[in-house]
Structure 1
Amino acid sequence: MGKILFFVAYFGKLPWYFPLFYQSCIDNEDTEFLFIGDNFNNLIESENIKKINYSLEDFNSLASYKLGMKVHIKYGYKICDFRPSFGVIFEDFIKNYEFWGICDIDVILGNIRGFLSQDILNNYDFISTTPEYPSGYMSIYRNIPLINNLYQQSSYLRQIFTEDKNFMFDECGGCYTEVIAGTNILETISETDSIHHLLERNKHNIRCLFEYYSIGGVPGNIKYNKGILSYKDEFEILIYHLSDYKKNLFTDKNIKNEIFDSFIIHQYSIVPNTFKLRVIGRINDFYVQIKFKLLHFFDKIMMAGRKNIPKDLNNGTYNYMGQKFEIVNGKKHTTFQLAFLRGRILKSFFFQNFYYLKEANLYFFQNNDGMEVLKNDGTPLFYQKGM
């Protein structure tokens, strides 16, 4: 079976969910992982787990040499833009592998080889675990010059690699709304191109598989048991993306060591896979939802019963995946425009530092970089200012 090496590059303090991801890597004994970063000193190596202690300065030095331009990453997240070039930057590590891949740490992996069969590996050169665009949290590249050097076809390469901004080059350049809606990536408008653009331009030479291998959100009913990941005990999945769970305002982010081998991911908690704790987890999910609905009900009554004109919000336009959110402070009202909805903004009575979009029935809060609009399940969506 074709050998695969996944690069796991992460700089900074490891988050609370890292042990869950790490265990799912260990349990994939027939797939290899190379951890690259500045906080993997205590990582225990095994047959399929290796590590390289790298600082950002080390990466900058190597990337500058391999890419032929001055690279100066200042923060870890920027490394996402460099992922399509890992076949060149880390070429010395993949000489004995048929494929190399990229993998985030905010995921839990199922049985990789159970999904990426030899037949699939034989027939595809690039594999994405999402159907609409290249998935930055897990993608696989065939280790051949055409694929490894594909990133060089970008006309914006120097801008992407030398500016501090994250251009989402490893995915679709930020055109998520359009491609999810079915628009061809080459028909979208973006500041730069991305690996998605390059794959589409080369679709006659590069065999791509964009497959629905992953789930996200906070659906609950996800079980991990010694390398097997399943949903609702009905079907097996390759990967669960924790992007929403880790940001959700209601989720319990305290985990204990004994759950790593087998555990249940409820909507708002992660618990060991025992009957008693599974029941407690379901009860907790129900309690969280009822509590929020009751507070929301009384909050609307209190907001309507007092003068409520927020004056501390910043005027401007905010953007999330192509969707605009506009705030206007007026003399009588503070208003918003979100997609096709327009209405008033009220200051929450029960939820400190939160505001309420009355006509949209949504809460949001403001931070230094933009707005976090809260979905009804407790997951915030970040709208960046000035985009």
Structure 2
Amino acid sequence: MKKIALVNCYFGEFPWYFPFFIKSCATNPTIDFLIFSDRLYTESLPDNVKIIPFNLDKFNALATEKLGFEVSIEKAYKLCDFKPAYGLLFSEYLQQYDFWGITDIDVIYGRIREFMTDEILDTYDIICVRHDFITACCMLFKNNDYVNTLFKKSKDYQMVFTSTKNFAFDETNFEQIEIVDRYDIFNIDCEIESMQHVILKEEENRNLKSHFDLLICDGNPGELKWENGLLSFRNKLEILLFHMQYYKKNIFTNKILTWDEIPDSFYIDRYNYRKNNSLLTRFTVFYTNYLTSPVWHIKKRIGVFLSFYLFKNKLKHLEEGEYIYYLSKEKVIIRKDHDGSTYIKFKNDEEQLLYHMAINKNYFFAKELHYIFKLEIVTNNILKAFTVISPNGTGRVYTKSE
């Protein structure tokens, strides 16, 4: 059996969902998980999970030494761009493994070996868990010099590694939405040459073999069951992992861990998790899945009506400029009037005046738009980001372009 290690760098407090990740690691005892972190984890860990003391200063020193030029990142999120280089950066920790991989901690794994079989590992150099584009939440690389330095095939890698900006170099330069199949990225005007470009070019030149297959589930699908390591959808389809990227950001999801210990069997619904499937529990699931969102939006529309006709409290703290949603590159313009009144303009819409919600000042609206907006990131009473909340609770975060 080929040896596999999955690597993650995580700085800061471990989030509420981390015990789910650890539980799913424990049921994959033939896979090692190496987590480089500046925090201690006080709960017990399975033998195959190692938390290695690390911090940003150590990472910068290590990257500078291994890459041969100065690396000086200041924010942990920037680490994402370096994921394809982990095989080189952490080579001393990975010498005994046939494959190393990258993993996020907002994932719940199923039975990894059911998907990462010896046949797959014998055949391919890189294994991706989607059929259309690479995803840094989980990905395997053959542990050899060529693959470990594959990131250097990008003409932009040194610029990416020395910039403070995040480019999603480890994936597709934020072009997932535009990619229909895995070759379409070459028809997109990308800011950089990402790992998606590199891998597909090298495969086309027959320098490596990559495996793309849809093995994961994300979003808020509900009807997921995890039982002693086996993760399934609707009790019909076994999946490799559930990526909680959108689940954890949804405004309706339960983001508080109420269990002292993760059980050997649990369910993940659209907006919550539970231990059993009793009749009472299923009634609760029906309410949270199908009524939570409509009720919330009805309340907010009532709030919009009252706020506009009774108060008309204009929004003034959102900073003027261009804002962008990074996944679709969609841009909106925020403009301020001479009295500080704030206007918003989407690409194909008329400019609209913005108002605060009377009850909750964190929310705002435009009378002629059906969107509900939420303010984000306050700096010296100036706001530089906002979220457009969809009917199902997911949000598109627009951040001011610098």
Please confirm whether the aligned pair reaches a TM-score higher than 0.5, indicating the same fold.
Answer: yes
- Give the partner amino acid of 1:212: L
For 1:374, give the aligned amino acid.
I
Mapping of residues 13-24 of structure 1, within 5 Å: 13-24=13-24
Alpha-carbon offset, residue 42 of structure 1: 3.1
The structure 1 residue matched to 2:305, chosen from 276, 295, 301, is 301
What secondary structure is seen at the aligned counterpart in 2 of 1:245? coil
Cα deviation, residue 336, structure 1: 3.2
Distance 1:292 1:41, change over 3 A: closer
Kept in 2: contact 1:346–1:356 (CA 8 A): yes
Shift of residue 351, structure 1, vs aligned partner: 4.1
1:87–1:143 contact (8 Å) kept in structure 2 = yes
Q: Which residue of the partner structure matches residue 105 of structure 1?
A: 105
Deviation at 1:331, TM superposition (A): 8.1
Report matched runs for 1:201-212 at 5 Å. 201-204=201-204, 205-212=207-214
d(CA) in 1 for partners of 2:46 and 2:376? 42
Q: Does 1:352 align with 2:361?
A: yes
- Amino acid in structure 1 at the alignment position of 2:391: N
How much does 1:16 deviate? 0.7
**Superposition map of 1:14-163 within 5 A:** 14-42=14-42, 44-163=44-163
When the two structures are aligned, how many residues end up with a matched partner? 387
Q: Is the 8 A contact 1:343 1:358 kept in 2?
A: no
**Is 2:323 aligned against 1:315?**
no
1:25 aligns to what SS in structure 2?
helix
State the shift of 1:32 in Å.
1.6
Partner of 1:261: 264
User: 2:397 is aligned with what amino acid?
Assistant: F
Q: Tell me whether 1:338 sits opposite 2:342 in the alignment.
A: no
Deviation at 1:237, TM superposition (A): 1.5
Q: Which whole-Å CA distance do the structure 2 matches of 1:181 and 1:370 have between them?
A: 31
| Preserved contact between residue 133 and residue 182 of structure 2 (Cα < 8 Å) | no
State the TM-score, normalized to the length of structure 1. Answer: 0.90
What is the identity, as a one-letter code, of the residue corresponding to 2:386? M
Q: Does the 8 A contact of 1:271 with 1:278 survive in 2?
A: no
- Distance 1:258-1:94 versus aligned 2 partners, 3 A rule: closer
The alignment yields a C-alpha RMSD, in angstroms, of: 2.5
- SS of aligned partner of 2:84: helix
Alignment check: 8 A CA contact 2:28 2:111 kept: yes
Of stretches 264-273 and 4-13 in structure 1, the one that deviates more from structure 2 is: 264-273
Question: C-alpha displacement at 1:168, in angstroms?
Answer: 1.1
Q: Deviations over 1:306-337 (max 9, x none)?
A: 44654443332211121112233458985433
Q: How does 1:177-256 map to 2 (within 5 A)?
A: 177-180=177-180, 184-204=184-204, 205-255=207-257, 256=259
Residue in 2 that maps onto 1:379: 394
Q: Conserved in 2, the CA contact under 8 Å of 1:88 and 1:149?
A: yes
Provide closer, same or farther for how the CA distance between residues 133 and 274 of structure 1 changes in structure 2, counting only shifts above 3 A.
same
Tell me the equivalent position of 2:331.
Answer: 324
More off after superposition, 150-159 vs 292-301: 292-301
Q: In 2, are the aligned partners of 1:220 and 1:267 still within 8 Å (CA)?
A: yes
Inter-CA distance 323–248: structure 2 relative to 1 (3 Å threshold): same
- Give the superposition deviation at 1:360: 4.7
Q: Which deviations, in whole Å up to 9, do the C-alpha atoms of 1:262-314 show, x marking residues without a partner? A: 22212222222352445433333344224213303423432453446544433
Quick one: which of 354, 370, 376 aligns to 1:367?
Answer: 376
Give me the whole-angstrom Cα distance separating, in 1, the residues matched to 2:132 and 2:346: 24
Q: Deviations over 1:156-210 (max 9, x none)?
A: 2222112222121111122233225877223322332211121122123222222
Structure 1 residues 226-275: Cα deviation after superposition (integer angstroms, max 9, x where no partner): 21111222312111111122222222212212444322212222222352
Helix, strand or coil: the match of 1:280?
helix
Match of 2:344, as an amino acid?
A: F
- CA deviations over 1:128-165 (Å, ceiling 9, x no partner): 22233210111111112221111112222222112222
Q: TM-score, normalised by structure 2?
A: 0.87
- Structure 1 residue matching 2:246: 3-state secondary structure: helix
Distance 2:301 2:65 in 1: 59
Q: Kindly provide the amino acid, as one letter, of the partner of residue 332 in structure 2.
A: F
Q: Which runs of 4+ in 1 moved over 6 A?
A: none
SS at match of 1:220: coil
Secondary structure of 2:303's aligned partner: helix
Query: Which segments of 5 or more consecutive residues in structure 1 lack a partner in the other structure?
Result: none
What is the rounded CA distance, in whole Å, between the counterparts of 1:342 and 1:181 in structure 2?
34
2:86 aligned counterpart, secondary structure:
helix
CA contact (8 A) 2:133 2:181 kept: no
Return 84-93 or 313-322, whichever deviates more.
313-322
Cα deviation 1:319-377 (Å, max 9, x = unaligned): 11211122334589854333434453443344432122555521112334322111212
Residues in 2 aligned to 1:202 and 1:337: alpha-carbon distance in whole angstroms = 42
Structure 2: segments with no counterpart, 5+ residues: 378-383
Q: Alpha carbons of 1:119 and 1:130: their partners in 2 closer, same or farther (altered >3 Å)?
A: same
Distance in 1 of aligned mates of 2:367 and 2:235? 38
The 2-side partners of 1:94 and 1:331 are apart by 59
Instruction: Give 3-state SS (helix, strand or coil) of 1:317's partner.
Output: strand
Q: Secondary structure of the equivalent of 1:100?
A: strand
